[in-house]
A and B are shown apart, each in its own frame.
Chain A
Amino acid sequence: MEAVGHRPYNLVAELTYRCPLRCTYCSNPVSFRSVPDALDGEAWSGAFREAAALGVVHVGLTGGEPTLHPDLAEIVAGAAGAGLFVHLVTAGTTLDRDRLAALRERGLRSVQLSIQDARAAESDAVAGTRAFERKLAFARDAAALDLPLTLNVVLHRGNLDRTDELIELGRRLGAQRLELANVQYHGFALANRAALLPTAEQLERAAGAVARARTAGDGPEILFVLPDYYADRPKPCMGGWGRRILVMTPEGLVLPCHAAAEIPGLEFFRYPEHALRECWESAPGIAAFRGDDWMREPCRSCPERSRDLGGCRCQAFQLTGDPAATDPACALAPDHAIVLDARARAARPAEALYRGDSRAKRPPLSNPRRDS
């Protein structure tokens, strides 16, 4: 059961990168269109059985938009059959109530719905398509089917000032849980950072709204995640690299986090060419940053290293070009100035790129220090 002390509990199964939305802060790879859905229902079911044997108890079916995978029903049944808690993360625009009911019959236990803003016009503007009303209908369907609902809203400069309204929306839709997570600046979001990063004053007001709602206590449980850029310490990204969460991409690549494949020079294994246990325990890319042997100063001797587990390797790479560098989100990091500089520029207006925009074709990360 134990993977050399690194039992994964949660499997993040990215079924496909295809998505009907075009959010400006999407954290999936910028070149996502070229990635095929390599695993069919049978292959995913095999992966779930092997994951359960490794200790996984929960699977989040995600993407892209996971409901666009043609074998979704078989995939849900395969996960439930492996004894996993099956959770679906969706944009909510692709399933009607009958199809959702059929998935519930197959073993789906809960859903997470993404909403881009509290108002239709603003939400649709971020998504790059008309989706808001359809999302509300999905939330009502989930409630009617007694599927616990998490509402997920990615916060950024453009919607942070409507945190009150978002909480009210969560309450109205009967969400058990509301995730208000500030943008993580990976993938496409990093290219749009100048347009997305909020000001400190905005964050403070939003935190106030969250505190008031928690005191009132009659709405959903609220998870409020500050952007790394405004915390003085990094987050324990993914609960630690290769520690608790196992990510599988649409091509079957097994990763410690969904952005890890963007770090060059790291070798990960692909399922089903390798057994899942081998992908998790033996891939050099996962071994590279597991535990704390890889850490340098100031992390190596830092008493907080067991709390933040070294922060985010992808962020370290994307901002400094070196994945072993101290996460620049940390105030103790030699490269913390990069983050301070982005913070200082947060107040200036900037224009966002959409997926499919001709300007967005070139991966924006070829020079990681480009906009620092």
Chain B
Amino acid sequence: MNALSPQEFEARLREIGRERYHHRHPFNLRMHAGTLEPAEIRTWVANRYYYQTRIPIKDGLILAKAQDPAFRRDWIGRIHDHDGHRDGEGGLELWLALAEAVGLDRERVAGQRDVLPGVRRACDAYVDFVASHDLLESVASSLTELFAGDIMAVRIAAFERHYPWVATEGLRYFRARTRQAPADSAFGLAFVLAQARSRELQDRCVAALERKCEILWSLLDAVEAAHARPRLSPHALARLDDDEPMIVLSERAVKLGGSGREILQLCDGARTTLDVVAELAARHPEEPDLAEDVHHFVEEMTKLSVLVRET
């Protein structure tokens, strides 16, 4: 197949953004419509911080792949943007200011204490992607920045209008990104358009950008799921009090361990998954990986149609 012209190729990349970027994710739609609860905003801020911490690491990997000093000179600016030139500066610092503005404990967020397993998985998948792909695909995966400027503007307006309890000082990260994202993406786009000269390379760039959109999407899936209220599927027959506790479904049964039974008993459609975690943590203060286990269990049981989730 012939290579696309630069115009066609750019149009193709932008089409991916229109269709798959997370500005269309239900969680973002609700954020921008002003219907998120403060607890949902807080979960998002605490978790998105983990994503922010992965960015300079990802950019460091990209730097290490680049042969061209001019490329490195530009790209290293991204690390400075995130980390600043001294303590108390940079995008990570601004995000922690946002965390404080929404009522979170700065140290707790910085210590990544409340990162959801699904969010950790998504963010780590991004770093793994960049580590295992070449420079061109890695840069292509960063092109979600093409669509970031717009979403930041929408977000600032939405916060000012719908979430007045968040001090405007907290929104400085978004304001900084409305300036940085367009400049960064212009550089990245020019590089990708210039380097991807065959159809095969263009297709790989397309796949990289699609993958990145999936990763951002699944990050929000995990945040959304944490606030959903799981309950037993009306189609399931629960045999929780048997010697061998299990859930029976059409043409299958799911056996439960002791902790599975306890988690399921708390999934009553009133508690969110985070409430279930909190309740179990209170009961079993000695369990270290409890949050991880509960989120994972609820996710698996939802896939198996044992649980249904209401947002």
Q: List chain A positions with a Cβ less than 8 A from chain B.
A: 1, 9-10, 57-58, 60, 83, 85, 87, 109-110, 112, 146, 148, 150, 176-177
Interface presence of B250 (CB below 8 A): yes
Cβ of A85 and Cβ of B246 under 8 Å apart? no
List the B side residues contacting A150 at CB < 8 Å: 250-251
Residues of chain B from 193 to 246 with CB closer than 8 A to chain A in the complex: 234-235, 237, 239, 243-244, 246
Most A CB contacts (10 A, CB to CB) among B237, B246, B249, B250 go to: B250
Cβ of A176 and Cβ of B250 under 8 Å apart? yes
Cβ of B235 and Cβ of A58 under 8 Å apart? no
Cβ of A110 and Cβ of B235 under 8 Å apart? yes
Most B CB contacts (10 A, CB to CB) among A109, A112, A146 go to: A109
Cβ of A148 and Cβ of B253 under 8 Å apart? no
Cβ of A109 and Cβ of B243 under 8 Å apart? no
Bound CA–CA A85/B239 (angstroms): 10
Cβ of A85 and Cβ of B249 under 8 Å apart? yes
Bound CA–CA A270/B244 (angstroms): 29
A112 to chain B, nearest CB (A): 7
List the B side residues contacting A57 at CB < 8 Å: 237, 239, 246, 248, 253
Cβ of B305 and Cβ of A176 under 8 Å apart? yes
Pick the residue among A9, A110, A146 that contacts B250 (CB under 8 A).
A110
Known: A9-B253, A58-B253, A87-B250. 13 other contacts (CB 8 A): A1-B244, A10-B253, A57-B239, A57-B248, A85-B249, A87-B251, A109-B235, A112-B250, A148-B235, A148-B250, A150-B251, A176-B305, A177-B251
List the A side residues contacting B246 at CB < 8 Å: 57
B84 to chain A, nearest CB (A): 41
Bound CA–CA A194/B249 (angstroms): 37
Cβ of A112 and Cβ of B248 under 8 Å apart? no
List the A side residues contacting B248 at CB < 8 Å: 57-58, 85
B255 to chain A, nearest CB (A): 9
B301 to chain A, nearest CB (A): 15
A224 to chain B, nearest CB (A): 15
Bound CA–CA A252/B244 (angstroms): 28
List the B side residues contacting A109 at CB < 8 Å: 235, 237, 250
Minimal Cβ-Cβ distance residue in A for B246: A57
List the B side residues contacting A1 at CB < 8 Å: 243-244
Bound CA–CA A135/B305 (angstroms): 25
A150 to chain B, nearest CB (A): 6
The number of chain B residues with a CB under 8 A from chain A is 13
Most A CB contacts (10 A, CB to CB) among B234, B239, B246, B251 go to: B251
List the A side residues contacting B243 at CB < 8 Å: 1
A267 to chain B, nearest CB (A): 30
Minimal Cβ-Cβ distance residue in B for A80: B237
Bound CA–CA A57/B243 (angstroms): 13
Bound CA–CA A20/B250 (angstroms): 25
List the B side residues contacting A146 at CB < 8 Å: 234
Cβ of B237 and Cβ of A110 under 8 Å apart? no
A sample of 27 inter-chain contacts (CB < 8 A) reads A1-B243, A1-B244, A10-B253, A57-B237, A57-B239, A57-B246, A57-B253, A58-B253, A60-B251, A85-B237, A85-B249, A85-B253, A87-B250, A87-B251, A109-B237, A110-B249, A110-B250, A110-B251, A112-B250, A112-B251, A148-B235, A148-B250, A150-B251, A176-B250, A176-B305, A177-B250, A177-B251
Bound CA–CA A176/B252 (angstroms): 13
Minimal Cβ-Cβ distance residue in A for B243: A1
List the B side residues contacting A110 at CB < 8 Å: 235, 249-251
List the B side residues contacting A148 at CB < 8 Å: 235, 249-250
A239 to chain B, nearest CB (A): 12
A261 to chain B, nearest CB (A): 24
List the B side residues contacting A10 at CB < 8 Å: 253
Bound CA–CA A9/B253 (angstroms): 8
Bound CA–CA A58/B239 (angstroms): 11
B52 to chain A, nearest CB (A): 29
List the B side residues contacting A87 at CB < 8 Å: 250-251
- Minimum-distance CB pairs A-B, first 8: A110-B250, A85-B248, A85-B237, A57-B248, A148-B250, A148-B235, A58-B248, A87-B250
Most B CB contacts (10 A, CB to CB) among A1, A9, A150 go to: A9
Bound CA–CA A146/B233 (angstroms): 12
Bound CA–CA A60/B251 (angstroms): 8
